[in-house]
Amino acid sequence: MKLFVDSGNIKDIETLAAIGIIDGVTTNPTLLAREPGDYRENLKKICEIVKGPVSGEVTSTDFAGMLQQGHDIAKIHQHMIVKVPLTRDGIRACKALSGEGIRVNVTLCFSAAQALLAAKAGATFVSPFVGRLDDVATNGMELIREIVDIYDNYDFTTDVLVASCRHPIHVVEAARMGADIATCPPAVIDQLFNHPLTSIGLEKFLKDWEKAQAVKA
């Protein structure tokens, strides 16, 4: 399973990319609005850092506006992915843009029926939001299972990009279900490294080594 970072912060992206575990980046208007500078230049720099898919979202809500903004986003860099919402106009825009060879990430997906529409419209990625479903007492990961099953039944090429990951369990369950990608905030990716036994084991190894060196001295 590929791992994307959900962030518009260039420093955070650089730090994680340097480790060698990040395959791409997802952004949205909220994340980009938090960062200084021109968002187009920021997206271009992010593309150059990760050298993989970087999603930039349209802010228009009508078909014509999405189409225009989609073309503008696609021109920023070869790695840019146009992100559109799962609305009627968003699906229409996805169909039009994907028909031109532009890769599209259909976002704000909350049902298997919506995911089916995204695949039929030629989406490169569909982004079901598991954390937001959990917030309203609905099992977000069950949605991932349904989408993966449906896509496998019909050999759809759309990648299931698990979004709104709130903790490492979301990531592990997504991988077990066969999702293609999980996108996480930097803090959640940092948590993937953590286990108390790793820290305890490392501390013991280092103490034993120091004792051995002291005896030899």
Q: How many Å apart are CA 162 and CA 127, to the nearest integer?
A: 6
DSSP annotation of 129 reads B
Q: How many Å apart are CA 121 and CA 157, to the nearest integer?
A: 11
The answer to whether residue 83 is catalytic is: yes
With tokens 């108390």, the residue in question is 196
Given 2, 51, 83, 207, which residue is catalytic? 83
94, 62 in Cβ contact below 8 A? no
Q: Residue 214 to residues 203, 208, 211: CA-CA distances in angstroms? A: 17, 10, 5
Secondary structure, 3-state, 130-181: HHHHHHCCCCHHHHHHHHHHHHHHHCCCCEEEEECCCCHHHHHHHHHHCCCE
Task: Report the chain's C-alpha Rg in angstroms.
Answer: 20
Counting Cβ atoms within 10 Å, is residue 182 exposed (0-12), middle (13-18) or buried (19+)? Answer: buried
Catalytic residue list: 83
